[in-house]
Amino acid sequence: MKALYVSARDPVGPVRLARKRIVEVMSKPVVTIPVGVTLDEALTTMVRTGLRHLAVVDIGGHCIGVLSDRVIAAVWAADHTALAYRTVASTLAPEPAVLSLRDTVADAARLMGASGVDAVAVVDDHGDPVGLVTGGDLVWLLAK
């Protein structure tokens, strides 16, 4: 059984954190990668920026998912030559892990759990990426 410590001074702390708007905890600015580039190019961008997650955008700049370093590693493990010819598009889930600016921390945690991912993109009303929320962001929020 998992337990969550709740201070007697702040018994509603976990509820307050869960209701916090996602824009208050997301990482920004978001680094994007076009859907048609190869995984090798995406990995180069990750190494250059020091990031483990990139928002994937279509030709119109709308977010269609998140690419993680774990996905790239899994593709490479299955075929060492695949990074040179497989595109980012070939790795995206049919249902993208994307939230709106109005969503909450609880929404992000639920989506991460249901999708089995460790990051979700945050988009504006036009579908353009404005940030990412990672498992690390949620841990940092709890640690404050």
CA distances from 1 to 4, 15, 24, 135, 141 (A): 10, 20, 30, 21, 23
Name the token pair of 4: 């969550």
Question: 131: pLDDT confidence band, cut at 50, 70 and 90?
Answer: very high
Question: 1: pLDDT confidence band, cut at 50, 70 and 90?
Answer: very low
Listed range (8-22, 48-62, 112-126) with the worst mean pLDDT: 8-22
The mean of the pLDDT values for the chain is 89
- What pLDDT is attached to residue 9? 55
Is the per-residue pLDDT at 7 higher than 80?
no
Distance CA 54, CA 126 (A): 19
Domains and CATH numbers, the chain: 27-143 (3.10.580.10)
CA distances from 143 to 5, 20, 105, 132 (A): 12, 15, 14, 19
